[in-house]
Amino acid sequence: MASRLLARRFASSAAAATEKKPINVAVTGAAGAIGYALLMRIASGDMLGPNQPVNLQLIETEPGMKPLSGVTMELADCAFPLLRSVQSTTDLEAGFGDAGLAILVGARPRSKGMERGDLLTANASIFAAQGAALNAAAARDVSVLVVGNPANTNALVASANAPDLSPAQFMAMTRLDQSRAAAAVAAKTGAHVRDVERVVIWGNHSATQYPDLTHATVRGQPALKAIGDDAWVKKTFIPDVQKRGAAIIDARGASSAASAASAAVDHMRDLVVGAGDAWLSMGIPSDGSYGVEEGLWYSVPVTCAGKGVYQRVGGLPKPDDFSASMMDATRKELLSERDGVRHLLPKAAGGKGKKGRK
Ligand SMILES: NC(=O)c1ccc[n+]([C@@H]2O[C@H](COP(=O)([O-])OP(=O)(O)OC[C@H]3O[C@@H](n4cnc5c(N)ncnc54)[C@H](O)[C@@H]3O)[C@@H](O)[C@H]2O)c1
Ligand SMILES: O=C(O)C[C@H](O)C(=O)O
Protein backbone atom coordinates (compact mmCIF):
# COMPACT_ATOMS: atom_id res chain seq x y z
CA MET A 1 0.00 0.00 0.00
CA ALA A 2 2.73 2.46 1.05
CA SER A 3 4.77 1.70 -2.06
CA ARG A 4 1.71 2.21 -4.31
CA LEU A 5 1.10 5.60 -2.68
CA LEU A 6 4.74 6.55 -3.14
CA ALA A 7 4.63 5.49 -6.79
CA ARG A 8 1.51 7.59 -7.35
CA ARG A 9 3.11 10.60 -5.66
CA PHE A 10 6.24 10.15 -7.77
CA ALA A 11 4.18 9.96 -10.96
CA SER A 12 2.28 13.16 -10.16
CA SER A 13 5.41 15.12 -9.22
CA ALA A 14 7.08 13.93 -12.44
CA ALA A 15 4.03 15.13 -14.39
CA ALA A 16 4.21 18.49 -12.60
CA ALA A 17 7.91 18.80 -13.42
CA THR A 18 7.26 18.26 -17.15
CA GLU A 19 4.02 20.28 -17.32
CA LYS A 20 3.94 22.94 -20.01
CA LYS A 21 3.65 26.60 -19.10
CA PRO A 22 -0.02 27.65 -19.35
CA ILE A 23 -1.05 29.77 -22.37
CA ASN A 24 -3.06 32.89 -21.58
CA VAL A 25 -6.15 32.92 -23.80
CA ALA A 26 -8.24 36.11 -23.85
CA VAL A 27 -11.84 35.88 -25.09
CA THR A 28 -14.14 38.88 -25.55
CA GLY A 29 -17.91 38.52 -25.48
CA ALA A 30 -17.35 35.55 -23.22
CA ALA A 31 -20.92 35.45 -21.90
CA GLY A 32 -22.48 35.40 -25.36
CA ALA A 33 -23.76 32.45 -27.37
CA ILE A 34 -20.44 31.72 -29.10
CA GLY A 35 -18.49 32.39 -25.90
CA TYR A 36 -20.55 29.81 -24.02
CA ALA A 37 -19.70 27.07 -26.53
CA LEU A 38 -16.11 28.24 -27.04
CA LEU A 39 -14.93 28.43 -23.44
CA MET A 40 -15.82 24.80 -22.73
CA ARG A 41 -13.87 23.63 -25.79
CA ILE A 42 -10.79 25.70 -24.90
CA ALA A 43 -10.84 24.62 -21.26
CA SER A 44 -11.29 20.94 -22.11
CA GLY A 45 -8.13 20.91 -24.25
CA ASP A 46 -9.89 20.65 -27.63
CA MET A 47 -8.13 23.75 -28.89
CA LEU A 48 -4.54 23.48 -27.68
CA GLY A 49 -4.22 19.76 -27.00
CA PRO A 50 -4.41 17.42 -24.02
CA ASN A 51 -1.11 18.50 -22.46
CA GLN A 52 -1.46 22.27 -22.69
CA PRO A 53 -2.77 24.08 -19.58
CA VAL A 54 -4.64 27.36 -20.14
CA ASN A 55 -5.48 30.53 -18.25
CA LEU A 56 -8.76 32.05 -19.44
CA GLN A 57 -8.99 35.86 -19.46
CA LEU A 58 -12.63 36.72 -20.10
CA ILE A 59 -13.76 40.16 -21.20
CA GLU A 60 -17.35 41.34 -21.12
CA THR A 61 -19.40 44.52 -20.97
CA GLU A 62 -20.77 45.65 -17.59
CA PRO A 63 -24.22 44.07 -18.25
CA GLY A 64 -22.45 40.91 -19.42
CA MET A 65 -20.69 40.39 -16.09
CA LYS A 66 -23.61 38.73 -14.28
CA PRO A 67 -24.26 36.11 -16.98
CA LEU A 68 -20.50 35.66 -17.21
CA SER A 69 -20.36 34.82 -13.50
CA GLY A 70 -22.77 31.96 -14.25
CA VAL A 71 -20.51 30.73 -17.06
CA THR A 72 -17.48 30.78 -14.78
CA MET A 73 -19.43 28.77 -12.18
CA GLU A 74 -20.08 26.18 -14.87
CA LEU A 75 -16.41 26.19 -15.90
CA ALA A 76 -15.47 25.48 -12.30
CA ASP A 77 -18.09 22.72 -12.09
CA CYS A 78 -16.62 21.00 -15.16
CA ALA A 79 -13.39 20.50 -13.15
CA PHE A 80 -11.29 20.63 -16.32
CA PRO A 81 -7.79 19.37 -15.45
CA LEU A 82 -6.14 21.77 -17.93
CA LEU A 83 -7.85 24.93 -16.72
CA ARG A 84 -5.43 26.75 -14.43
CA SER A 85 -7.24 30.04 -13.83
CA VAL A 86 -10.21 32.12 -14.94
CA GLN A 87 -10.26 35.89 -14.76
CA SER A 88 -13.36 37.96 -15.66
CA THR A 89 -13.14 41.66 -16.34
CA THR A 90 -14.56 44.66 -18.18
CA ASP A 91 -11.10 46.23 -18.33
CA LEU A 92 -9.57 45.62 -21.75
CA GLU A 93 -5.92 45.98 -20.75
CA ALA A 94 -6.37 43.70 -17.75
CA GLY A 95 -8.17 41.15 -19.91
CA PHE A 96 -5.57 41.20 -22.67
CA GLY A 97 -2.60 41.34 -20.24
CA ASP A 98 0.15 38.98 -21.49
CA ALA A 99 -2.36 37.15 -23.69
CA GLY A 100 -0.68 34.80 -26.16
CA LEU A 101 -3.96 34.17 -27.96
CA ALA A 102 -6.93 36.53 -28.22
CA ILE A 103 -10.29 35.61 -29.69
CA LEU A 104 -12.41 38.69 -30.33
CA VAL A 105 -16.02 37.55 -30.33
CA GLY A 106 -17.79 40.32 -28.40
CA ALA A 107 -19.95 42.29 -30.81
CA ARG A 108 -23.57 42.51 -31.86
CA PRO A 109 -24.82 39.67 -34.09
CA ARG A 110 -27.09 40.47 -37.04
CA SER A 111 -30.75 39.62 -36.96
CA LYS A 112 -33.08 38.44 -39.72
CA GLY A 113 -32.94 40.58 -42.87
CA MET A 114 -29.60 42.23 -42.07
CA GLU A 115 -26.33 41.70 -43.96
CA ARG A 116 -23.16 41.37 -41.86
CA GLY A 117 -21.89 44.69 -43.27
CA ASP A 118 -24.90 46.39 -41.63
CA LEU A 119 -23.11 45.80 -38.31
CA LEU A 120 -20.21 48.04 -39.27
CA THR A 121 -21.50 51.10 -37.43
CA ALA A 122 -22.50 49.15 -34.33
CA ASN A 123 -19.37 47.05 -34.03
CA ALA A 124 -16.26 48.54 -35.65
CA SER A 125 -15.52 51.02 -32.85
CA ILE A 126 -15.35 48.10 -30.37
CA PHE A 127 -12.41 46.75 -32.34
CA ALA A 128 -10.54 50.08 -32.37
CA ALA A 129 -10.52 50.10 -28.56
CA GLN A 130 -9.58 46.42 -28.42
CA GLY A 131 -6.72 46.87 -30.91
CA ALA A 132 -5.30 49.68 -28.76
CA ALA A 133 -5.57 47.56 -25.61
CA LEU A 134 -3.91 44.57 -27.27
CA ASN A 135 -1.13 46.89 -28.38
CA ALA A 136 -0.65 48.09 -24.81
CA ALA A 137 -1.01 44.86 -22.87
CA ALA A 138 -0.88 41.60 -24.87
CA ALA A 139 2.21 39.40 -25.33
CA ARG A 140 4.29 40.77 -28.21
CA ASP A 141 3.72 37.59 -30.21
CA VAL A 142 -0.05 37.44 -29.57
CA SER A 143 -2.17 35.85 -32.29
CA VAL A 144 -5.54 37.58 -32.62
CA LEU A 145 -8.57 35.94 -34.23
CA VAL A 146 -11.49 38.26 -35.02
CA VAL A 147 -14.86 36.50 -35.02
CA GLY A 148 -17.25 39.44 -34.38
CA ASN A 149 -18.84 40.74 -37.59
CA PRO A 150 -18.04 42.19 -40.03
CA ALA A 151 -14.96 40.14 -39.14
CA ASN A 152 -12.57 41.16 -41.96
CA THR A 153 -13.04 44.89 -41.52
CA ASN A 154 -13.04 44.60 -37.73
CA ALA A 155 -9.64 42.87 -38.02
CA LEU A 156 -8.40 45.77 -40.14
CA VAL A 157 -9.65 48.26 -37.52
CA ALA A 158 -8.09 46.34 -34.61
CA SER A 159 -4.74 46.03 -36.37
CA ALA A 160 -4.70 49.69 -37.41
CA ASN A 161 -5.04 50.62 -33.75
CA ALA A 162 -2.20 48.33 -32.66
CA PRO A 163 0.85 50.02 -34.20
CA ASP A 164 3.42 47.94 -32.27
CA LEU A 165 2.00 44.61 -33.44
CA SER A 166 2.36 43.21 -36.94
CA PRO A 167 -0.80 43.31 -39.07
CA ALA A 168 -0.07 39.64 -39.75
CA GLN A 169 -0.91 38.91 -36.09
CA PHE A 170 -4.57 39.81 -36.78
CA MET A 171 -6.74 37.26 -38.60
CA ALA A 172 -10.43 37.32 -39.52
CA MET A 173 -12.29 34.04 -39.22
CA THR A 174 -13.41 32.41 -42.49
CA ARG A 175 -12.85 28.88 -41.21
CA LEU A 176 -16.57 28.39 -40.66
CA ASP A 177 -17.16 29.12 -44.36
CA GLN A 178 -14.42 26.64 -45.27
CA SER A 179 -16.02 23.93 -43.11
CA ARG A 180 -19.46 24.67 -44.54
CA ALA A 181 -18.10 24.38 -48.07
CA ALA A 182 -16.26 21.13 -47.33
CA ALA A 183 -19.37 19.66 -45.69
CA ALA A 184 -21.50 20.58 -48.73
CA VAL A 185 -19.02 18.91 -51.11
CA ALA A 186 -18.88 15.81 -48.91
CA ALA A 187 -22.68 15.56 -48.90
CA LYS A 188 -22.85 16.00 -52.68
CA THR A 189 -20.20 13.37 -53.44
CA GLY A 190 -20.98 10.88 -50.68
CA ALA A 191 -17.44 11.28 -49.32
CA HIS A 192 -16.48 11.87 -45.72
CA VAL A 193 -15.67 15.48 -44.95
CA ARG A 194 -12.11 14.52 -44.01
CA ASP A 195 -11.62 13.37 -47.62
CA VAL A 196 -12.41 16.85 -48.95
CA GLU A 197 -9.29 19.01 -49.16
CA ARG A 198 -8.12 22.34 -50.54
CA VAL A 199 -11.47 24.10 -50.58
CA VAL A 200 -10.67 27.83 -50.59
CA ILE A 201 -12.66 30.78 -49.29
CA TRP A 202 -11.59 34.01 -50.96
CA GLY A 203 -12.37 37.49 -49.70
CA ASN A 204 -14.91 38.66 -47.19
CA HIS A 205 -16.85 36.65 -44.58
CA SER A 206 -20.05 37.85 -46.21
CA ALA A 207 -22.47 37.01 -48.99
CA THR A 208 -19.83 38.11 -51.54
CA GLN A 209 -17.25 35.52 -50.41
CA TYR A 210 -16.08 33.12 -53.10
CA PRO A 211 -16.05 29.47 -52.03
CA ASP A 212 -13.74 28.07 -54.72
CA LEU A 213 -13.46 24.40 -55.68
CA THR A 214 -10.89 24.91 -58.46
CA HIS A 215 -8.08 23.38 -56.37
CA ALA A 216 -10.24 21.15 -54.16
CA THR A 217 -9.95 17.38 -54.10
CA VAL A 218 -12.25 14.60 -52.97
CA ARG A 219 -10.42 11.41 -52.00
CA GLY A 220 -7.41 12.85 -53.84
CA GLN A 221 -9.32 13.40 -57.14
CA PRO A 222 -10.27 16.85 -58.50
CA ALA A 223 -13.49 17.87 -56.72
CA LEU A 224 -15.02 19.47 -59.80
CA LYS A 225 -14.63 16.17 -61.64
CA ALA A 226 -16.01 14.15 -58.71
CA ILE A 227 -19.04 16.48 -58.59
CA GLY A 228 -19.41 16.60 -62.38
CA ASP A 229 -22.16 19.21 -62.20
CA ASP A 230 -21.07 22.75 -62.98
CA ALA A 231 -24.61 24.09 -62.63
CA TRP A 232 -24.79 22.72 -59.06
CA VAL A 233 -21.48 24.39 -58.20
CA LYS A 234 -22.52 27.79 -59.56
CA LYS A 235 -26.23 27.85 -58.77
CA THR A 236 -26.45 25.85 -55.53
CA PHE A 237 -23.10 25.34 -53.82
CA ILE A 238 -21.71 28.88 -54.06
CA PRO A 239 -24.90 30.76 -53.05
CA ASP A 240 -25.68 28.23 -50.29
CA VAL A 241 -22.25 28.69 -48.68
CA GLN A 242 -22.45 32.47 -49.10
CA LYS A 243 -25.86 32.57 -47.42
CA ARG A 244 -25.48 29.78 -44.87
CA GLY A 245 -25.27 32.23 -41.97
CA ALA A 246 -28.59 33.79 -42.97
CA ALA A 247 -30.20 30.35 -43.37
CA ILE A 248 -29.19 29.50 -39.80
CA ILE A 249 -30.54 32.80 -38.47
CA ASP A 250 -33.79 32.13 -40.32
CA ALA A 251 -34.13 28.61 -38.88
CA ARG A 252 -32.77 29.15 -35.38
CA GLY A 253 -33.83 32.73 -34.77
CA ALA A 254 -30.22 33.43 -33.74
CA SER A 255 -26.90 33.33 -35.52
CA SER A 256 -24.66 30.27 -35.61
CA ALA A 257 -22.94 29.73 -32.28
CA ALA A 258 -21.65 26.18 -31.68
CA SER A 259 -20.36 25.89 -35.25
CA ALA A 260 -18.72 29.33 -35.02
CA ALA A 261 -17.04 28.30 -31.76
CA SER A 262 -15.92 25.05 -33.37
CA ALA A 263 -14.41 26.93 -36.31
CA ALA A 264 -12.51 29.23 -33.91
CA VAL A 265 -11.16 26.15 -32.10
CA ASP A 266 -10.07 24.63 -35.44
CA HIS A 267 -8.43 27.88 -36.57
CA MET A 268 -6.46 28.39 -33.37
CA ARG A 269 -5.50 24.71 -33.03
CA ASP A 270 -4.08 24.62 -36.55
CA LEU A 271 -2.28 27.91 -36.01
CA VAL A 272 -0.67 26.87 -32.72
CA VAL A 273 -0.22 23.12 -33.14
CA GLY A 274 0.29 23.11 -36.93
CA ALA A 275 -1.63 21.43 -39.72
CA GLY A 276 1.02 20.03 -42.07
CA ASP A 277 0.29 20.81 -45.71
CA ALA A 278 -3.48 21.28 -45.28
CA TRP A 279 -4.87 24.42 -46.94
CA LEU A 280 -6.82 26.56 -44.48
CA SER A 281 -8.66 29.77 -45.20
CA MET A 282 -8.06 32.90 -43.12
CA GLY A 283 -8.73 36.59 -43.59
CA ILE A 284 -5.23 38.07 -43.46
CA PRO A 285 -3.72 41.37 -44.56
CA SER A 286 -3.35 41.38 -48.30
CA ASP A 287 0.17 41.59 -49.68
CA GLY A 288 -0.96 42.82 -53.10
CA SER A 289 -1.25 39.35 -54.63
CA TYR A 290 -4.35 38.17 -56.56
CA GLY A 291 -4.96 41.83 -57.53
CA VAL A 292 -6.03 42.71 -53.99
CA GLU A 293 -4.55 45.96 -52.75
CA GLU A 294 -2.61 45.99 -49.49
CA GLY A 295 -4.50 46.98 -46.37
CA LEU A 296 -7.56 44.75 -46.82
CA TRP A 297 -8.15 41.65 -44.69
CA TYR A 298 -8.92 39.25 -47.53
CA SER A 299 -9.40 35.51 -47.02
CA VAL A 300 -6.84 33.35 -48.82
CA PRO A 301 -5.50 29.81 -48.44
CA VAL A 302 -2.61 29.37 -46.00
CA THR A 303 -0.68 26.52 -44.45
CA CYS A 304 0.14 26.46 -40.74
CA ALA A 305 3.50 25.31 -39.43
CA GLY A 306 2.51 25.71 -35.76
CA LYS A 307 3.60 28.18 -33.05
CA GLY A 308 1.38 30.89 -34.56
CA VAL A 309 3.12 30.92 -37.93
CA TYR A 310 1.15 30.75 -41.15
CA GLN A 311 2.28 30.90 -44.74
CA ARG A 312 0.15 32.09 -47.65
CA VAL A 313 -0.23 29.42 -50.39
CA GLY A 314 1.62 30.85 -53.36
CA GLY A 315 2.25 29.93 -56.96
CA LEU A 316 -1.38 29.33 -57.88
CA PRO A 317 -2.23 29.59 -61.59
CA LYS A 318 -4.03 32.72 -62.79
CA PRO A 319 -7.76 32.36 -61.95
CA ASP A 320 -10.15 31.81 -64.86
CA ASP A 321 -12.61 34.60 -65.76
CA PHE A 322 -15.37 33.29 -63.48
CA SER A 323 -13.08 33.02 -60.45
CA ALA A 324 -11.45 36.38 -61.19
CA SER A 325 -14.83 38.13 -61.29
CA MET A 326 -15.94 36.46 -58.03
CA MET A 327 -12.67 37.42 -56.33
CA ASP A 328 -13.01 40.97 -57.56
CA ALA A 329 -16.59 41.38 -56.32
CA THR A 330 -15.64 40.47 -52.75
CA ARG A 331 -12.52 42.71 -52.96
CA LYS A 332 -14.76 45.64 -53.92
CA GLU A 333 -17.05 45.00 -50.97
CA LEU A 334 -14.06 45.04 -48.60
CA LEU A 335 -12.92 48.34 -50.13
CA SER A 336 -16.29 49.90 -49.49
CA GLU A 337 -16.35 48.54 -45.91
CA ARG A 338 -12.92 50.12 -45.40
CA ASP A 339 -14.32 53.46 -46.57
CA GLY A 340 -16.98 53.13 -43.88
CA VAL A 341 -14.41 52.86 -41.08
CA ARG A 342 -11.85 55.45 -42.23
CA HIS A 343 -12.54 57.50 -39.08
CA LEU A 344 -11.27 54.55 -36.99
CA LEU A 345 -8.01 54.10 -38.90
CA PRO A 346 -5.11 56.15 -37.55
CA LYS A 347 -2.98 57.66 -40.34
CA ALA A 348 0.21 55.65 -39.76
CA ALA A 349 -1.44 52.23 -39.53
CA GLY A 350 0.53 48.97 -39.30
CA GLY A 351 3.46 48.15 -37.03
CA LYS A 352 6.24 45.64 -36.77
CA GLY A 353 5.45 43.31 -33.84
CA LYS A 354 7.75 40.47 -32.88
CA LYS A 355 6.29 37.59 -34.84
CA GLY A 356 6.12 38.56 -38.52
CA ARG A 357 4.37 36.04 -40.69
CA LYS A 358 4.23 35.99 -44.44
N1 LIG B 1 -16.82 35.04 -38.30
C2 LIG B 1 -17.80 34.13 -38.16
O3 LIG B 1 -17.76 33.08 -38.83
C4 LIG B 1 -18.94 34.34 -37.20
C5 LIG B 1 -19.83 33.29 -36.97
C6 LIG B 1 -20.89 33.49 -36.08
C7 LIG B 1 -21.06 34.72 -35.44
N8 LIG B 1 -20.17 35.72 -35.69
C9 LIG B 1 -20.29 37.01 -35.02
O10 LIG B 1 -19.81 36.88 -33.67
C11 LIG B 1 -20.37 37.93 -32.87
C12 LIG B 1 -20.88 37.36 -31.55
O13 LIG B 1 -21.94 36.49 -31.77
P14 LIG B 1 -22.75 35.82 -30.57
O15 LIG B 1 -23.77 34.93 -31.18
O16 LIG B 1 -21.84 35.27 -29.54
O17 LIG B 1 -23.49 37.11 -29.99
P18 LIG B 1 -24.16 37.30 -28.54
O19 LIG B 1 -25.01 38.51 -28.62
O20 LIG B 1 -24.76 36.03 -28.06
O21 LIG B 1 -22.90 37.58 -27.61
C22 LIG B 1 -22.13 38.71 -27.80
C23 LIG B 1 -21.50 39.01 -26.44
O24 LIG B 1 -20.55 40.05 -26.64
C25 LIG B 1 -20.63 40.94 -25.55
N26 LIG B 1 -20.08 42.22 -25.97
C27 LIG B 1 -20.66 43.18 -26.73
N28 LIG B 1 -19.83 44.22 -26.86
C29 LIG B 1 -18.69 43.90 -26.20
C30 LIG B 1 -17.48 44.58 -25.95
N31 LIG B 1 -17.27 45.81 -26.40
N32 LIG B 1 -16.53 43.96 -25.21
C33 LIG B 1 -16.75 42.72 -24.72
N34 LIG B 1 -17.89 42.04 -24.90
C35 LIG B 1 -18.85 42.62 -25.63
C36 LIG B 1 -22.12 40.97 -25.22
O37 LIG B 1 -22.32 41.41 -23.87
C38 LIG B 1 -22.49 39.52 -25.40
O39 LIG B 1 -22.36 38.76 -24.21
C40 LIG B 1 -21.44 38.59 -33.74
O41 LIG B 1 -20.92 39.77 -34.32
C42 LIG B 1 -21.70 37.55 -34.81
O43 LIG B 1 -22.22 38.13 -35.99
C44 LIG B 1 -19.12 35.55 -36.54
O1 LIG C 1 -24.24 35.11 -40.58
C2 LIG C 1 -24.06 35.67 -39.51
O3 LIG C 1 -24.46 36.81 -39.28
C4 LIG C 1 -23.35 34.92 -38.41
C5 LIG C 1 -22.09 34.33 -38.88
O6 LIG C 1 -21.25 35.25 -39.50
C7 LIG C 1 -22.28 33.10 -39.74
O8 LIG C 1 -21.66 33.01 -40.79
O9 LIG C 1 -23.03 32.20 -39.32
Closest alpha carbon to 283 in 262, 309, 312 = 312
86 lines ligand 1 (CB under 6 A): no
What pLDDT does residue 110 have? Answer: 87
> Which residues define the annotated binding site for substrate?
110, 116, 149, 180
Catalytic residues: 205
Ligand 1 atom showing the smallest separation from residue 59 Cα: 33
Q: Indicate whether this model's pTM tops 0.90.
A: yes
151 lines ligand 1 (CB under 6 A): yes
**Distance of alpha carbon 352 from its chain centroid, rounded?**
22
Ligand 1, residues 36, 40, 61: which to mutate, most atoms within 8 A of Cβ? 61
Question: Is the omega angle on the peptide bond into residue 346 within 30 degrees of 0, that is, cis?
Answer: no
- Give the residue, by CA position, lying nearest to ligand 2 atom 5: 245
Query: In order of start, what are the domains of the chain with their CATH numbers?
Result: 18-172 (3.40.50.720), 175-342 (3.90.110.10)
Ligand 1 centroid to 146 CA: how many Å? 10
- Note the pLDDT tens digit of each residue in 299-335: 999 999 999 999 999 999 999 999 999 999 999 999 9
In DSSP notation, 130-195 reads HHHHHHHHS-TT-EEEE-SSSHHHHHHHHHHT-TTS-GGGEEE--HHHHHHHHHHHHHHHT--GGG
Ligand 2 centroid to 315 CA: how many Å? 31
Backbone phi and psi for residue 82, each to the nearest 5 degrees, phi listed first = -90, -5
Alpha helices in the chain (DSSP H): 2-18, 33-44, 65-78, 92-96, 120-137, 151-160, 175-189, 223-227, 230-232, 238-242, 244-252, 258-273, 321-340
Q: At a CB cut-off of 8 Å and minimum separation 6, what does 9 contact?
A: none
Closest alpha carbon to 43 in 35, 32, 33, 54 = 54
148 lines ligand 1 (CB under 6 A): yes
114 lines ligand 2 (CB under 6 A): no
Ligand 2 atom showing the smallest separation from residue 116 Cα: 3
Ligand 2, residues 241, 256, 267: which to mutate, most atoms within 8 A of Cβ? 256
Instruction: State ipTM.
Output: 0.99
- In angstroms, the CA 354 to CA 164 distance is 9
What pLDDT does residue 7 have? Answer: 43
Ligand 1 centroid to 195 CA: how many Å? 32
Query: Can you give the pLDDT of all 358 residues of the chain as single tens digits?
Result: 344 444 444 444 445 556 899 999 999 999 999 999 999 999 999 999 999 999 999 999 999 999 999 999 999 999 999 999 999 999 999 999 999 999 999 999 888 889 888 899 889 999 999 999 999 999 999 999 999 999 999 999 999 999 999 999 999 999 999 999 999 999 999 999 999 999 999 999 999 999 999 999 999 999 999 999 999 999 999 999 999 999 999 999 999 999 999 999 999 999 999 999 999 999 999 999 989 999 999 999 999 999 999 999 999 999 999 999 999 999 999 999 999 999 999 975 544 444 434 3
Ligand nearest to the CA of residue 36, numbered in listed order: 1
Q: Collapsing DSSP states into helix, strand and coil, what is residue 114? A: coil
> Which residues define the annotated binding site?
29-35, 110, 116, 123, 147-149, 180
**Distance of alpha carbon 167 from its chain centroid, rounded?**
15
267 lines ligand 2 (CB under 6 A): no
Residue 197 pairs with which residues in a beta bridge?
Answer: 217
What pLDDT does residue 121 have? Answer: 86
- Give the residue, by CA position, lying nearest to ligand 2 atom 1: 245
Ligand 1 centroid to 345 CA: how many Å? 22
257 lines ligand 2 (CB under 6 A): no
41 lines ligand 2 (CB under 6 A): no
Ligand 2 centroid to 122 CA: how many Å? 16
Ligand 2, residues 255, 259, 262, 267: which to mutate, most atoms within 8 A of Cβ? 255
Ligand nearest to the CA of residue 247, numbered in listed order: 2
